[in-house]
Amino acid sequence: MWAILIVFCLISAGLSLLIPPMFVMAIVLVAVSVVFIVKYPFAGLILYLVVFLMRPAELYPALEPLHMERLIGIAVLIISLIHHKWKSGKVYFPSDLGSKLMVVFMMMILFTWTYTFDSDATQLVFETFMKLVIFYILITYEVNTKKRFNIFLGTFVILIAVIAFLAFRDYYGGGRQFTAGIERAVGRTSAGGNPNTLAGTLATALPLVIVFYRYYRNVFVRLVAVGIIGLLLLMIVNTGSRSGLLTLMGAVGTMIFFSKYRTISAVAAIMGMLIGWTLLPDQYRQRYETMVNDDRGIEDVSSGRVSIWMNGLRMIVQRPLTGVGGGAFRAANASGNFGAPQDMQPHNLYIQLLAEYGLVGAAVWFILLGSTLRRLNRPRPPNTEASPDDNPELYDHNIWFDYMRQAIVASAVGLMISGIFGHSLYRYTWYLLFALTAMITKIYYEQLAPKQEPEPEAIEPVPETT
């Protein structure tokens, strides 16, 4: 063992003379991670989640040639497959409908490469979606118990808080983006993105933070949740994103709808909004007022979106079945074939989906979304009803399941609202929610919901003999 360690150190030292030390450190980190993942595949998924959201290559460009995200993702997937083969004696592809539709949609992206308006954009989109498919499959493999689900979701929430904190530090440190006449917060990496993307990401993650406050009674967990909620709300406001504010209202409104204390929650939310409005700096108050009070034309109010949407509708009419190609909306929009040329993205999920993939691709994606919502709204079996006194364990399982799926529905509603104003088709939040839905229902119905036991047969009394 010591000999291996010495040889490894000597090799690392030799490499540091030829390539940058940070590059060597990254190679060592990846090598150690692979060894660790072999023994603990679930920990490998958590590591991949961290790399996926923190984007170390964007924070430290010297790491970009390593492609750490892709390398760790593939390593975790291969090791997970081997691990399942060793445990169960077979390798299987997840049988849920979501996994199949994800792969079908990925293949449709690849197919559009044969006729796309921008082959480079389509290739980039394919690589991005392939990572999302790997992520989805890894979640279905490894997040297979209630404990693992909570750890995974808790890690995601903490990482979202880190993204918000980095944006907070940049914003108050002077790193603001000045657009639309105001100073706006932006994400440090593409995981946060521009002001609208950052606001949408934080707003749709908010229900997943609230669920930890609702489910756990631990004081520390609740204090951390409250702190994260406050940070997310502050940074959503600081983006100056009107679509982000509508997304927030939709997500919070859905959570209020699910609450047992609906009236009290609604009153508290309205009071919070009124107090927050009075504390808003003038630049943001004026920005948000344009949502209901603006004498400019619709084109100016929508920041040019209407003309972009009209070009997108022409793409849908002219290429109704196949679309213009995955990720190629911007190139098609700038081509002049579908109206006045504009080098702009669609700024609408639904137009983006139909314009890039046509009716066939849109049908696949909407089936994926519809099946997810159907799973989340599936009622619990009648034999699983329990009270905290009669069956506290089952009662806790029911509360966990209900709270988690309500939070996922609220996030999905937020994403659907956000999609009206943003081109979020390839946003990771969608596919994370799809995967979480697949696993929460699988965990509950296959492992947590008890099988109804047959009632004991009545025992006939033995007749007395004389």
Domain boundaries, the chain: 8-92
Distance CA 234, CA 248 (A): 12
Asked if residue 436 lies in contact with residue 429, where contact means CB atoms within 8 angstroms, the answer is no
Sequence-ordered alpha helix ranges (H) in 319-427: 329-335, 349-376, 392-421
Residue type, 142: E
- Average pLDDT, integer, range 88-108: 83
pLDDT at 31: 65
pLDDT of 294-318, one tens digit each?
Answer: 665 555 555 668 889 999 999 999 9
Q: How confident is the prediction for the chain on average, in pLDDT?
A: 84
| Beta bridge pairs of residue 184 | 177
CB 365 within 8 A of CB 357: yes
pLDDT interval class at 152 (50, 70, 90): very high
Residue 462: pLDDT over 70: no
- Residue 186 token pair: 């932006």
Backbone phi and psi for residue 432, each to the nearest 5 degrees, phi listed first: -65, -45
CA pair distance 277, 418, nearest whole angstrom: 21
- pTM score of the predicted model: 0.85
Q: How far apart are CA 193 and CA 176, in angstroms?
A: 13
pLDDT in the model for residue 33? 63
pLDDT confidence bin for 220, thresholds 50/70/90:
very high
pLDDT at 5: 44
- Percent over 90 (pLDDT), the chain: 47
Where are the alpha helices (H) located in 239-348, listed in sequence order? Answer: 242-258, 262-279, 282-289, 298-301, 305-318, 329-335
Quote the percentage of the chain above a pLDDT of 70.
Answer: 82
Contact between 145 and 139 under an 8 Å Cβ cutoff? The reply is no
Range of weakest confidence among 264-268, 289-293, 389-393, 403-407:
289-293
pLDDT category at 24 given cuts 50, 70, 90 is low
Q: Which pLDDT band, with edges at 50, 70 and 90, does 2 fall under?
A: very low
pLDDT of residue 410: 96
Does the pLDDT of residue 352 top 60, yes or no? yes
Among 78-82, 212-216, 452-456, the minimum mean pLDDT is found in 452-456
Half-sphere exposure of 223 (CA within 13 A, CB side): 3
* Number of neighbours of residue 368 by Cβ within 10 angstroms: 19
Spatial CA neighbour of 208 closest among 279, 150, 164: 150
Tokens of 33: 């991670």
CB atoms within 10 A of CB 234: 16
Once rounded to an integer, what is the mean pLDDT over residues 353-367? 95
How many angstroms separate the first and last alpha carbons of the chain? 82
Residues 259, 407: Cα–Cα separation, whole Å: 11
Q: At 370, is the pLDDT very low, low, confident or very high (cuts 50, 70, 90)?
A: very high
